[in-house]
A = this chain, B = another copy of it.
Amino acid sequence: MAHNLDESLSLLARTPAALDALLRDQPEIWTLRNEGPNTWNAAEIVGHLISGERTDWVPRARMIMQFGESKTFEPFDMKGHVREVEGKSINQLLDEFAQLRTNNLVELRAWKLQPADLERRGVHPSLGTVTMSQLLATWPAHDMTHLHQLSRVLAHQYREAVGSWSEYMGVLQCSGHSSE
């Protein structure tokens, strides 16, 4: 199913500012605390998004344009955020994500993709054949998956503090979902 690329770009352009609004200059409770063992804090979520800008979305779109189905995408490194966050403050991570996102959107817009380009196919290492349209729709949906995760990580810090209100807070009932 095709989608409207302008609408995707319009959401993709906003994610860095939304994360910036929530996280810049915040105390550690909102940037460095996670949901427990093997979960990510806000800085690691931004690190993962940085990793996606470097190796996932536009690089895969470029592969579709250049190689179509003749070459399989590189598997995405779900540990890629580890080296991205190393030694960086949350503000540095936010700046880096914003810059990479801007560059990627500039590049993508310059391609002036046509409807036929959105039908082009590539090969995902696990999912098999996918289209350019699906790849470019997944990019903002992936942003939303991590905004969803971030809101849950932040709310989690107040799980006890809210007392009996916890039953009314939907986000506190969310146990997370695959691949977040």
- A residues with a Cβ closer than 8 A to B are 1-4, 6-7, 10-11, 14-15, 17-22, 26-27, 29-30, 124, 127-128, 130-131, 133-135, 137-138, 140-142, 144-145, 147-152, 154-155, 158, 160-165, 167-174, 176-180
Contacts and interface: CB of A to CB of B under 8 A. Distances in A.
Given A148-B170, A173-B177, A7 B21 contact: no
A127 B165 contact: yes
B134 A163 contact: yes
A170 B178 contact: yes
Given A1-B160, A144-B152, A170-B180, 9 more contacts: A134-B163, A135-B165, A137-B163, A140-B158, A145-B151, A145-B169, A145-B171, A147-B150, A148-B170
Given A18-B21, A163-B130, A179-B169, A144 B151 contact: yes
A16 B17 CA distance: 12
